[in-house]
Amino acid sequence: MKRDRVFLPAADKVNFFLQEEDRFQRMMAVLESSFDGIYLADATAKTIWCNHSYELISGLCADQLIGRTMQELENTGVISKSCTLLAMERGEAVTIDQEFRTGKHAVVTSTPIYDENNQITMVVTNVRDISELIDLKETLKKQQSIAERYQSEISVIREQLLQLPELVADDPTTLNLLRIVGRAANMETVMLILGETGVGKERIASYIHRKSPRCKQNFIRVNCGAIPENLAESELFGYERGAFTGANREGKPGLFEVADCGTIFLDEVGELSLNLQTKLLRVLQEKEITRVGGNKPIKVDVRVIAATNKNLENEVKLGKFRQDLYYRLSVFPVVVPPLRERREDISRLASNALRELNQNYGKQKVISPEAYAELRNYHWPGNVRELRNVIERAFIMSDEAEITVGDLALFQGGDRANTVSTSGSFQDSVEQFEAKLIADALKVEPSIRAAARKLQMDPATLLRKKKKYEHIKVF
């Protein structure tokens, strides 16, 4: 908005100080109290006065300015551009942006003051420090840039997931997890995936491998809890011929050698013995292995991803896990949230599981809206693995083409009290539920392998868990 000309006021309009003996001091105090800088020049653009705020903003002292013309100050580089001269030239108020040598940014407005003869008698310049506003603007710009990059990453992840139908990421929590691990995938960093049983740690590890520069090389999965302890060393690190009775005559490379140039995924790493933990630490530090019965180190170029459902910090305190190995594995820990914390994934996980069953058995069953709602409301102590088992059981038990709430048998109340105790810790409840699933599978399947296939478990893992849960009265 253009401002009207400002004239020197008549005496009767400034009588609020006339009765005061120190009226001049009071007027100066008003000007000095201004947070904005105030700069006064006469009709020849010579500096008359400036307040302390102007000195702070500009970094100039009054002694450097008073008595000198704005033209002189501009010519000698004391100021970069004179708003006063612009105002006198145009005969009206002028506003410019200015940066002072202090690094401060300011909005500078110079207003010419006219006398009764319509002649400029002085110029008043107001200098407002907007440095904080500029900083805030830059911060906002950076945050907007970060938000845009985040949204771009999420869009890319969604597009990539179309190529990976086994991965579901409808929930923002899952998308954010994939965004984080996607960044780390391009590095050679050792990664430790943490999470409850059945959350899908192996699929996250597979996703990391596919996003990594090693994606065209081997991805070797190792279930550390399923390998018998007396065979674990030879399985992981291989053996030379004649290393032990029954060994292959020519020797055999271990899984680390098979994974050379690729990725090895050590699931249930917390189950390794202390002896094997020592050897694993050497692989991570020295990038080499020694076969059983051999004495020649073999260099291996392997990216290690480990996973566990155990609290390794507690295992370290109990002396069951090496502290140095824990630190080496947890360079980049990632926690996969349980299914109950990413409920927006549940519907598609269920529909994907049902689609596979329909394809395998030539059916066209669907899940009712009420059943979907029930699935989303359930707390899923067994996570994704339990969800797939529930859908498979409902697929078998449903007589109609539509799977209803009654087919799900989620034991939300009533019946569950007779099968799985709800007392004790959360971990106790999970173990009891897992034991019940194993017991049910063993009742209907003719062999360990068939039961393991039904539960999508390794047979050795099923045997180990069956032995672990023998004290639970479900077998």
Q: What is the pLDDT of residue 87?
A: 94
Residue 442 buriedness (CB in 10 A; 0-12 / 13-18 / 19+): buried
263-267 vs 191-194, strand pairing mode? unpaired
Longest dimension (CA), the chain: 118
pLDDT > 90: what percent of the chain? 44
What is the CATH number for 90? Answer: 3.30.450.20
Q: What is the pLDDT of residue 336?
A: 94
Of the listed ranges 13-22, 133-142, 271-280, 438-447, the one predicted with least confidence: 13-22
Instruction: Tell me how far apart the alpha carbons of residues 296 and 179 are, in angstroms, rounded to a whole number.
Output: 41
Is the domain of 332 the same as that of 448? Answer: no
Is the domain of 101 the same as that of 173? Answer: no
Which of 58-72, 166-180, 457-471 has the highest average model confidence (pLDDT)?
58-72
105-114 vs 6-7, strand pairing mode? parallel
Q: Within a 10 A sphere around the Cβ of 375, how many other Cβ atoms?
A: 22
Contact 170, 348 (CB under 8 A): yes
pLDDT band, residue 422 (cuts 50/70/90): very low
Secondary structure E strands in 63-200: 94-99, 105-114, 120-129, 191-194
What is the CATH number for 289? Answer: 3.40.50.300
Last residue of a domain, one of 84, 109, 129: 129
Residue 362 buriedness (CB in 10 A; 0-12 / 13-18 / 19+): exposed
The three-class DSSP label of residue 342 is: coil
Inform me whether the pLDDT recorded for 453 exceeds 90. no
pLDDT > 70: what percent of the chain? 85
The three-class DSSP label of residue 471 is: coil
Instruction: Tell me how far apart the alpha carbons of residues 397 and 392 are, in angstroms, rounded to a whole number.
Output: 9
- Which of 455, 444, 446, 416 is CA-nearest to residue 432? 416
Write the DSSP assignment of 356-418 as a string of letters: HHHHHHT---EE-HHHHHHHHHS--TTHHHHHHHHHHHHHHH--SSEE-HHHH----STTHHH
- Which of 183, 175, 181, 182 is CA-nearest to residue 193? 181
The three-class DSSP label of residue 138 is: helix
* Between residues 397 and 177, the one the model is more confident about: 177
Is the domain of 323 the same as that of 174? Answer: yes
Contact 42, 132 (CB under 8 A): no
pTM above 0.85, yes or no: no
Is the domain of 190 the same as that of 114? Answer: no
Last residue of a domain, one of 304, 337, 370: 337
Show the 3-state SS of 319-337.
CCCCHHHHHHHCCEEEECC
Query: Does 362 map to a domain?
Result: yes
Query: Does 195 map to a domain?
Result: yes
Instruction: Tell me how far apart the alpha carbons of residues 440 and 421 are, in angstroms, rounded to a whole number.
Output: 16
Is the domain of 260 the same as that of 176? Answer: yes
Of the listed ranges 165-169, 364-368, 379-383, 453-457, the one predicted with least confidence: 165-169
pLDDT band, residue 59 (cuts 50/70/90): confident
Work out the average pLDDT over 372-383.
91
Last residue of a domain, one of 337, 359, 389: 337
Q: How many residues does the chain have?
A: 475
Give pLDDT tens digits for 284-325.
999 999 988 888 899 999 999 999 999 999 999 999 999 999
Is the domain of 350 the same as that of 331? Answer: no
pLDDT band, residue 430 (cuts 50/70/90): low
Contact 315, 338 (CB under 8 A): no
Domain assignment of residue 122, given as a range? 6-129
Q: What is the pLDDT of residue 150?
A: 60
Domain total of the chain: 3
Is the domain of 247 the same as that of 114? Answer: no
pLDDT band, residue 439 (cuts 50/70/90): confident
Query: Does 157 map to a domain?
Result: no
pLDDT band, residue 275 (cuts 50/70/90): very high
Query: Does 112 map to a domain?
Result: yes
Q: In the numeric block, which tokens belong to residue 346?
A: 């549940």
Is the domain of 201 the same as that of 314? Answer: yes
Query: Does 139 map to a domain?
Result: no
* Between residues 277 and 105, the one the model is more confident about: 277
Write the DSSP assignment of 168-229 as a string of letters: ---SHHHHHHHHHHHHHHTS---EEEE--TTS-HHHHHHHHHHHSTTTTS-EEEEETTTS-H
Q: What is the pLDDT of residue 149?
A: 58
Instruction: Tell me how far apart the alpha carbons of residues 350 and 377 are, in angstroms, rounded to a whole number.
Output: 13
What is the CATH number for 359? Answer: 1.10.8.60
Q: What is the pLDDT of residue 134?
A: 82
Work out the average pLDDT over 99-105.
79
* Between residues 58 and 459, the one the model is more confident about: 58
Of the listed ranges 240-249, 295-304, 362-371, the one predicted with least confidence: 240-249
Q: What is the pLDDT of residue 420?
A: 44
Is the domain of 279 the same as that of 413? Answer: no
* Between residues 351 and 454, the one the model is more confident about: 351
Inform me whether the pLDDT recorded for 241 exceeds 80. no
Q: What is the pLDDT of residue 340?
A: 92
Mean pLDDT for all residues in the chain? 84
Is the domain of 123 the same as that of 19? Answer: yes
